[in-house]
């Protein structure tokens, strides 16, 4: 058995893979593959409707918000957000907590004025800046809730009265949130929602046309909302598998239940990192992510040796990003506690071998 700690595209439940595999051959008894079925067919329209309903139910999305299934990943949202929300004479406020937050701000600067309210780049993004001063005249405030590379996570929305936009690509559906606290949420699906290829956007309807800008309709949130995420051909297979995964999450008991599982998984691994003399965490303790757990060793030679042992024990995807080094265990919803225990056992085996 492989234990997949990859950062994304990531592990999904086995039963979701099995159901998706059936649909590749025959989608809902149509005699057609899900890969060839028309996105305008009644059968697929029902998939879109159910997927939206499940998102709304699992996250308790208010009725005055639209749920969109787009393409281009979070990277496209880096541009769509300012195009739709930033007036030509306005400014946007951004919090810089890592590579993706930095890239979001960089793209926004191509559209209009951006103010970086704080940055943790001075310590290689190992912490979350506190006591933010967010300008009250900003058109919106943007932050990234979970930083996959650096292993930090923001659990409480920073206090501000301006519209708030959050990139939740790597922790959406992993914990309870109050959607009404945010004006726009976006997330690439390939962590907790489904496979790569679809991007979830949850947007307050009053934001449509907020920037007053004129730009191609394909980049307008309102165009996609009016078309029911069918403005252009949607990522059919990715939406379908997302629906299956959301069904799985609902059957488990929803976000409340999965959050408790995620807390236990993260706590189990962090306790071993803190106990084991060969390993140490890289993120500030108070800002540690539940989704992406980053840790290192004192010696590069030992890191190579541990990676070799991990490979022998069928642990895959734990090599850290080059920006941090060491190791990164991505602990998304579908990863089981047995995989966490397998990693912990391997860490203890390594310790025992070097006594």
Q: Which residues are catalytic?
A: 100, 167, 191
Structure tokens at 153: 């996570």
Q: Phi, psi at residue 104, to the nearest 5°?
A: -60, -45
User: pLDDT digits over 70-81, tens only?
Assistant: 999 999 999 999
User: Is 173 within 8 Å of 190 (Cβ atoms)?
Assistant: no
What pLDDT is recorded for position 334?
98
**Is residue 301 over pLDDT 90?**
no
Read off the pLDDT of each residue in 290-298 and give the average, rounded to a whole number. 96
User: Is 273 within 8 Å of 295 (Cβ atoms)?
Assistant: yes
Nearest to 272 by CA among 325, 204, 351: 351
Read off the pLDDT of each residue in 37-63 and give the average, rounded to a whole number. 97
**Is residue 300 over pLDDT 90?**
no
What pLDDT is recorded for position 22?
98
**Is residue 215 over pLDDT 90?**
yes
Task: Work out the mean pLDDT of the chain and round it to a whole number.
Answer: 97
Helices (H) then strands (E): counts for the chain: 9, 14
Start-end of H helices in the chain: 14-25, 42-59, 73-85, 99-109, 221-226, 236-252, 255-275, 300-312, 337-353
User: pLDDT digits over 187-212, tens only?
Assistant: 999 999 999 999 999 999 999 999 99
What angle do helix axes 73-85 and 99-109 make, rounded to 10 degrees? 40
Would you call 213 helix, strand, or coil by DSSP?
A: coil
What pLDDT is recorded for position 355?
81
pTM for the complete prediction? Answer: 0.97
Task: Kindly indicate the confidence band of residue 162, based on its pLDDT and cuts at 50, 70 and 90.
Answer: very high
**Whole-angstrom distance, CA of residue 54 vs CA of residue 105:** 31
User: Is 168 within 8 Å of 191 (Cβ atoms)?
Assistant: no
Task: Kindly indicate the confidence band of residue 185, based on its pLDDT and cuts at 50, 70 and 90.
Answer: very high
């Amino acid at each position: 058995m492989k234990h997949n700690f990859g950062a994304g595209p990531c592990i999904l439940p086995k039963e979701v893979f099995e159901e998706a595999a059936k649909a590749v051959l025959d989608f809902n008894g149509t005699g057609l593959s899900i890969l060839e079925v028309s996105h305008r067919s009644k059968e697929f329209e029902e998939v879109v409707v159910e997927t939206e309903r499940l998102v709304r139910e699992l996250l308790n999305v208010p009725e005055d918000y639209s749920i969109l299934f787009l393409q281009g990943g979070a990277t496209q949202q880096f541009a769509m957000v300012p195009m739709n929300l930033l007036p030509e004479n306005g400014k946007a406020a951004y919090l810089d907590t890592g590579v993706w937050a930095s890239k979001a701000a960089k793209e926004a600067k191509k559209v209009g004025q951006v103010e970086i309210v704080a940055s943790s780049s001075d310590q290689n993004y190992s912490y979350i800046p506190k006591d933010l001063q967010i300008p009250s005249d900003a058109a919106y405030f943007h932050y990234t809730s979970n930083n996959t590379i650096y292993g930090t996570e923001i659990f409480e929305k920073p206090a501000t009265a301006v519209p708030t936009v959050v990139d939740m690509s790597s922790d959406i559906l992993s914990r309870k949130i109050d959607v009404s606290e945010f004006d726009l949420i976006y997330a690439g699906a390939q962590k907790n929602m489904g496979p790569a290829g679809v991007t979830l956007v949850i947007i307050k309807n009053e934001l449509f046309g907020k920037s007053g800008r004129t730009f191609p309709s394909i980049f307008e949130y309102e165009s996609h909302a009016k078309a029911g995420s069918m403005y252009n051909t949607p990522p059919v297979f990715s939406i379908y598998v997302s629906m299956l995964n959301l069904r799985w999450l609902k059957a488990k008991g929803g976000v409340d239940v999965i959050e408790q599982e995620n807390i236990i998984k993260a706590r189990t691994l962090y306790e071993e990192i803190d106990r084991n003399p060969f390993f140490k965490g890289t993120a500030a303790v108070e800002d540690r992510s539940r989704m992406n757990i980053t840790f290192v060793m004192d010696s590069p030679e030992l890191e190579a040796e541990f990676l070799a042992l991990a490979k022998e024990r069928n642990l895959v995807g734990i090599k850290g990003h080059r920006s941090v080094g060491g190791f990164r265990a991505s602990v998304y919803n579908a990863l089981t506690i047995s995989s966490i225990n397998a990693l912990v056992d391997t860490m203890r085996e390594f310790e025992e071998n070097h006594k």
